[in-house]
Structure 1
Amino acid sequence: MHQDPALEAFCHAFKNLDKTCTKGLENLYTDDVSLTDPLHHIEGRNALMGYYIEMLDNVTECHFATHHYQREGDEACVDWVMSLSHPRLADGRRIEVAGCSRLTFRGERVCRQRDYFDAGAMLYEHLPVLGTLIRWLKRRTRPTPPSH
């Protein structure tokens, strides 16, 4: 695979996140970056850094294991598994959620990021009451295997 320093720097920055790494994240994005995921839409690097600071202030552990990434021109895709521990989710136990980020680069920085992941698996399933309901609904809506 062709080496891509900008994409590799992006993947490396998310390996182990904590409150001290937001400056490194800032260097990955353009001033007018747009990030969209199932839970948020954020415009601008300052707003995005504020989001990261707030998120990282409340988590015990957060890191991303990238399994495959590829870039063609200005477009890139990164497959990842996020491991997250938060004191108010799943009684503080680690949650693992698979996802994918679609990135658009302008030069060496990301100007658009669209993250795809199961928000229920990350958040809602681990809340008291609501989690029980969502897990029940997921079981009920799974296709039944054909009988022979």
Structure 2
Amino acid sequence: MDVITHFCKIYTDICQISPVDLEGVYADDILFIDPITTHRGIEEVKNYFANLLTQAESCKFDIADIFTCSKQISSRHSNVTHVVNWTMTLVLKDNAKKITLDGSTQLSVRNNFIIYHKDYYDLGEMVYEHVPILGFIIKKIKGKLAK
């Protein structure tokens, strides 16, 4: 199985991911970036997922598109070989509210391992809009900007 197919398979439900799954997809020197933080190396990525799994009731990705870059896109850290568009559905254990979020991921593959993973999504939509008072304020601001 190629690494992109394996990536898509394990991200179907990341609450089912094991450290072995991560080691089968990500290189030892993976650079994993999301809007919250940056993780360097497979051990940091495994710790990140272990923490996520303690908080998530479920976290599923519906992968809509996978684009292979015919001309590699150069980023600051690596050459992007694939772009993945997805919709994430997240339910946290301490809050049964379902959060649905669209995003994209840039990936760089070398020797059938992902060496670079960068997620793009609206952090406000994922986190801030679900904080009671802050969420109300952000939604009001968005509404005014949309007019």
Q: Which TM-score tier does this pair reach, normalised by the shorter chain?
A: 0.7 to 0.9
Quote how far apart the aligned CAs of 1:104 are: 0.4
Quote how far apart the aligned CAs of 1:21 are: 2.8
User: Over residues 86-121 of structure 1, what are the superposed CA-to-partner deviations in whole Å (9 max), with x where a residue is unaligned?
Assistant: 144xx4211110000000011111111111101111
Counterpart of 2:113 (choices 109, 116, 121) is: 109
Moved over 4 A (4+): none
- In 1, the alpha carbon distance for the partners of 2:89 and 2:132 equals 20
User: Identity over aligned residues, as a percent?
Assistant: 25
Larger Rg: 1
Counterpart of 2:53 (choices 48, 51, 56) is: 56
Q: Contact 1:80–1:98 (CA<8 Å) still a contact in 2? A: yes
SS at match of 2:132: coil
SS at match of 2:27: strand
Q: Contact 1:99–1:115 (CA<8 Å) still a contact in 2? A: yes
Counterpart of 1:130 (choices 118, 134, 138) is: 134
Quote how far apart the aligned CAs of 1:72 are: 3.5
Say whether residues 1:83 and 2:89 are aligned partners: yes
- In 2, the alpha carbon distance for the partners of 1:20 and 1:117 equals 21
Normalised by the length of structure 1, the TM-score is: 0.85
Quote how far apart the aligned CAs of 1:19 are: 5.5
SS at match of 1:18: helix
Partner of 2:8: 11
Say whether residues 1:68 and 2:74 are aligned partners: no
Q: Contact 2:69–2:83 (CA<8 Å) still a contact in 1? A: no
SS at match of 1:75: strand
Long gaps (5+) in structure 1: none
- Which protein is richer in strand relative to its size? 2
Partner of 1:121: 125
- In 2, the alpha carbon distance for the partners of 1:139 and 1:22 equals 42
CA RMSD of aligned residues (A): 1.7
Q: Which amino acid aligns with 2:38?
A: H
Q: Contact 1:19–1:53 (CA<8 Å) still a contact in 2? A: no
Long gaps (5+) in structure 2: 71-79
Q: Which moved more, 1:20-29 or 1:101-110?
A: 20-29
Normalised by the length of structure 2, the TM-score is: 0.86
Counterpart of 2:18 (choices 8, 16, 21) is: 21
Q: What is the count of residue pairs matched by the alignment?
A: 138
Q: Which amino acid aligns with 2:144?
A: R
